Amino acid sequence: MRLSRLASKKIFSALTAVLLGLFLLFPAGGSNSTLTSLPNAEASFFSNDLELFEEVIGLVGDKYVYAPDYKKMFMASIDKMIRALADENISLENESTGQSISTFDKNIRHTLGYNRESALETFKKAYYFLLEKSEGKLSKKKLEIAAVTGLMDSLDPYSKYMNADSFNKSMRDTEGSYGGLGMIVTMKDNRLYVVKTIKNSPAQRVGIQPDDIFEKVNGTNIEKIQISELADKLRGQPGTEVTVTLYRPSEKKKYSHTLNREIISIETVEYQTLKNKVGSIKITSFSKQTNDQLKEALTKAKRDKVKGFILDLRDNPGGLLEQSVKIASHFLYRNRLVVYTQGREQTDRDEYRAQYQNSLHSMPVVILINQYSASAAEIVAGALRDSGKALIIGENSYGKGTVQTIFRTSNGSGIRLTTSKYYTPSGTDITSQGIVPEIHIMKDRIPKNSTGASEQANIKFLQSGPASTIKLKETQINEFIVKNHSAVLKTPDPTLAFAKILIENVSIANKKKTLEKARDLAANIHY
């Protein structure tokens, strides 16, 4: 899932014809050289060659959150074009003074600078040279698409090029249902993990489990693709088949499943009133329906006269920015800052504030997060933490602090571009380490393996977070609950159980007082 503000814009770049960056052609392996003419880059001036590429360059130059590194972008584009040609006789090498494209009979050296116009002119020469070398195997359009893809992939993990089909899918409003398999997926360390399966979905029925790692879809390796690309492969018309291959780390085994796509209904809010009038709200993602579903949950909570809330954002990969603002608004004073975004320019700042007059700002809240809580989930957690009312329990969150905007290009395709970063009300950039909980809970109930991973995790856990962080282990909490609160929960979830005990013992929305109570409990747990 992504944190995004959808936009539809057309930006047309002016073509430039700057005579810079000349190529020198040398016979491969020879020292005596003769200059050979290249296809004229200025040939595109009166045509639509590279129109899309220049349009994308314009968008990146104007809208990207960071100052564009044109040298890096053009180098990535040339590399991608060469890879697209899949010709073993063509290779690219980086040199101290520039790059060289080697063919079976020539070596072409070129230098790319940081100036957009001059680097573009040099890139055009490489484009036409490679187009000539393709000998019709790759069309102008396909070679240009390769260049655009390489450029976008060089920016950051969340910026990408989308063909017309992918763009149209991204632009559709989330309606609460789709043809798919029923899985929530996240990316961690460049690998695609299953976060959870949806109840009674095809994925759940075949036994796909959280933490399973995607390896193939329909026999094709998907190791280096983004979440959105995986979604495109998994979704489709109901009744059609898709085969997935996943690796299960806990068993060190691979599993392949052939599943029929079905209409998957998305319920993003799960609510229950726990014993002693504690309201448990689990939000699985932030879709178009999330706020409406939360309103229904809060109506039930009011009926049940709950005294406080557990807001469970564990395994929540994020979603729509505006939905995260609405969700946070239910627990904050009206007009309190929820989040602000900052673009490249100092003036490019947008603030988002709490919207509701009759909120639940006086009720205590404990928020649960883990390493898969990302994006919009982090916005909610950061806003309530910074307000001084909510205590955070669990693990460091994912750390996705960027906003993506979708732009339409003139040929009907589009790009997803990182256009700003978001900050919590206190000005915290969570990209590097995520939201850090006041109470850090380690999952130490996982069986130890032969690699010593559990021991390493323990060391990392004890060293993590600020000195003020309360550090507990699931086994410690579980022992305490069994001994003192045996009937807290019907399901064994130590983190949720600890949060419930906290809410039972506080009466106002004050993080400091809740933390004091947490320290008292922790002292009893450390026995």
pLDDT digits (tens, 9 = 90+) for 285-321: 998 889 999 999 999 999 999 999 999 999 999 988 9
Q: Considering 237, 265, 293, which residue would you say is the last residue of a domain?
A: 265
Q: Please tell me the predicted confidence (pLDDT) of residue 485.
A: 62
Is residue 497 included in any domain, yes or no?
A: yes
Query: Is the distance from CB of 393 to CB of 439 less than 8 angstroms?
Result: yes
**Residues 283, 143: one domain?**
no
Query: How would you classify the pairing of strands 213-217 and 470-473?
Result: unpaired
At 42 the pLDDT is 45
Query: Is the domain of 253 the same as that of 235?
Result: yes
For residue 64, give the amino acid letter.
Y
122 within a domain of the structure (yes/no): yes
Shared domain for 261 and 277, answered yes or no, is no
Q: What is the C-alpha to C-alpha distance for residues 46 and 52, in angstroms, rounded to an integer?
A: 15
- Is position 413 within any domain? no
> Could you tell me if 298 and 352 lie in one domain?
yes
Residues 113 and 185 in one domain: no
Number of folded domains that form the chain? 3
Instruction: Spell out, as residue ranges, where the chain has pLDDT lower than 70.
Output: 1-47, 105, 171-177, 445-468, 485-491, 526-527
Domain co-membership, 195 together with 75 = no
**Does any domain span residue 163?**
no
pLDDT at 391: 94
Supply the DSSP string of 274-289, one letter for each residue. Answer: ETTTEEEEEE--B-TT
3-state secondary structure 175-233: CCEEEECCEEEEEECCEEEEEEECCCCHHHHCCCCCCCEEEEECCEECCCCCHHHHHHH
Question: Whole-model pTM?
Answer: 0.72
Q: Which residues are catalytic?
A: 375, 386, 400
The whole-number pLDDT of residue 228 equals 80
For residue 230, the enclosing domain spans 177-265
Listed in order, strand segments (DSSP E) in 363-413 are 365-369, 390-394, 402-408
* pLDDT given at position 489: 52
User: Would 337 be classed as within a structural domain?
Assistant: yes
Domain's final residue, options 233, 265, 297: 265
484 Cβ partners below 8 Å, 6+ apart? 524
Burial of 494 (0-12, 13-18, 19+ CB in 10 A): buried
pLDDT tens readout for residues 433-470: 899 999 999 887 655 444 444 445 455 555 556 666 89
For residues 135 and 99, membership in a common domain is answered with yes
Give yes or no: residues 363 and 394 share one domain.
yes
Do 240 and 283 lie in a common domain? no
Residues 6+ apart with CB under 8 A from 284: 184, 196, 267, 268, 269, 270, 315, 316
- Pairing, β 241-248 against β 220-221: unpaired
**365-369 and 390-394 beta bridge pairing:** parallel
Phi and psi torsions of 431, nearest 5°: -60, -40
Length of the chain: 527
Instruction: For residues 426 and 334, state if they share a domain.
Output: yes
Contact 395, 371 (CB under 8 A): yes
Please check whether residue 411 lies inside any domain of the structure.
no
Q: For the segment 144-160, what is each residue's pLDDT rounded down to a tens digit? A: 999 999 999 999 999 99
* Two tokens, residue 124: 């055009």
My answer on whether 232 and 315 are in the same domain is no
Q: Dihedral sign for Cα 327, 328, 329, 332, please.
A: positive
What CATH number did the domain enclosing 302 receive?
3.90.226.10
**Residue 168 placed within a domain:** no
Residues 111 and 216 in one domain: no
pLDDT of residue 461: 53
Provide, rounded to the nearest whole percent, the portion of the chain with pLDDT above 70.
82
